Structure 1
């Protein structure tokens, strides 16, 4: 009842929830983002934005990032100089979950991760411009595809050559401003042994037994810690190996990941030392590091009633090169993102517009 009366009496609040409902209603799982990009192009154009669709190279199906700005420069094809670039992603994890709602929440895939951030950012900067609190040329909007898989959208965005002093990224932060987020390492360990009859274990070399020993050592290693970002943590994501209970396993594999709070190369060096140590059991071990990124330190803004925290998840931030200083804030909780019951609180979406307005105003005033 309260949410309905609030929407009726506050048109700007109704606007953000209406926009968010539209965004959630559009299926945009990774590789299928074009419909929501087309919707945003139409919506932003109607609101007075200049919209540039950037094709993702070598993508099938065809996909685009969307970059928008209000004040068109006289000489450039697109405006590349902004004080604050607001950014989030429009792709979601599968499967698509249809929009539903009750008095308090909006439910559906992408409701918090991260379409609530997209809607709140757009409405916040439009309010600021209409209120005369920032200039049109102060801000730009960049909404990318592929964040949930390989960050291809943000990587492609580098060719836009946007020169921003601050980058405000929208992800579900439970209405807190992030001091940073952890980095990551993805790796796999492949063990090759020698198959044989399980009744004669001395005639074979168990790849699984060797892998178990390695994983035990990894789990009992003290990994580096940071006073702000906390502990580096290890996850044993997938394990496979063997063919039958009565066969000595010739092959075994583990896919692992780290959430890194210090220096990724330092953690990788520890990992190599443990996994690649000389062996006398006759098995062969191969370590392959699939990806590695250092943690991100974020700028912060003091906003009354808004706490600060450290995000344990990873974002698009490291993939946009340049000198911009990153910030991370958005409505919703990462704990319900990707779940069957993904949702965002209506009041949080409305409040996030006010908080983003304060953040952007502060950053515009800080900017040179």
Structure 2
């Protein structure tokens, strides 16, 4: 492959993003958009592998040394369901004032998808790279689904570094909070409210929730701050004159890298009376050594680093990762979600600048 014209790639990136927006890809319904992206990569001669609605490919312009390092470029093509209050059609790309591209998934994470694809194609057209490069565009990120990137990681081979494309204003998140969700059930005994009999499960839940409200975690991360806990849902009672025997509530915990998930779960279970059921244990906090070569390169070219409070597919990756992408997370999951075309142009340039002369 001869060196690809970068200006042409950038124009194609915008057209590809428009097509992606116009192809509904709510989580678990990403088949059509995955085919769209696969077809685009085929135009540049790449052999694309597929599992479920995940697609991936790799460059072949790398040194064939046995100890070659591998970089994964990853982002997701699924979206949340559109909420109310959209002025435009969320599934129809709209360009406003020449620079603002509006549509569901434009910012989260379509802009990063097309920017990483353009970066991958450009780098794959250069002379020999000192690393193997894998591009994966994956599904079910918005629901942390089992058929997303987690399902293909064993098939990608050994990965040394991951760059996860999410809207970070092209800053580098070198740490990311993890997530634990606990479903809790307080159990009592039914009785007639007029006779004041039975054991009120709501009162048991209230005592537990009051304890959780006062619970604090003293290990403060330099990048992620404190681990936080909130009770975010509660439900109990079947009618006004029956003492409820069941009250359920949900705990949302955002973790830093200083706690193991099992440690936090054990700590909570010992202190509350309600039974707990764990939804998942794999959404870990992420952290990369601030002295890692990719972080040092980012700082060298003037990119800021920070700790991110939001969850991404980083949580499923058992290797060093950074989160870095086009757009602003404040716009994600909002009506009239948008990205600036100029942000995509600049994002492609920054990705290339970060990786073109990079070495481990």
TM-score (norm 2): 0.85
Find out whether 1:71 has 2:68 as its counterpart: no
Q: In the alignment, what sits opposite 2:133?
A: 139
1:1-368 → structure 2 map (5 Å cutoff):
10-54=7-51, 63-71=52-60, 83-95=70-82, 97-103=91-97, 104-130=99-125, 132=126, 135=129, 138-149=132-143, 150-201=145-196, 203-224=197-218, 225-261=220-256, 262-263=258-259, 264-276=261-273, 285-292=274-281, 293-298=283-288, 300=295, 301-302=298-299, 304-321=301-318, 324-361=319-356, 364-366=358-360
1:219-243: CA deviation from partner (whole Å, max 9, x where unpaired): 1111243222111112322211102
Q: Which runs of 4+ in 1 moved over 6 A?
A: none
Listed as ranges, the gaps of 5+ residues in structure 2 are 1-5, 83-89
Output the CA distance in 2 between the equivalents of 1:151 and 1:345.
Answer: 32
Query: Offset at 1:357?
Result: 0.9
SS at match of 1:155: helix
SS at match of 1:291: coil
Q: In the alignment, what sits opposite 2:85?
A: none
Query: Offset at 1:175?
Result: 2.3
TM-score (norm 1): 0.83
Output the CA distance in 2 between the equivalents of 1:187 and 1:241.
Answer: 17
SS at match of 1:275: coil
1:269-302: CA deviation from partner (whole Å, max 9, x where unpaired): 22112214xxxxxxxx311222224311035232
Query: Offset at 1:320?
Result: 3.5
Query: Offset at 1:315?
Result: 1.6
1:143-199: CA deviation from partner (whole Å, max 9, x where unpaired): 111112224221211331422321111111132100110111110110111222223
Query: Offset at 1:66?
Result: 0.6
SS at match of 1:42: helix
* Contact persistence 1:236–1:255 (CA under 8 A): yes
SS at match of 1:91: coil
Count the aligned residue pairs.
332
Output the CA distance in 1 between the equivalents of 2:91 and 2:267.
Answer: 41
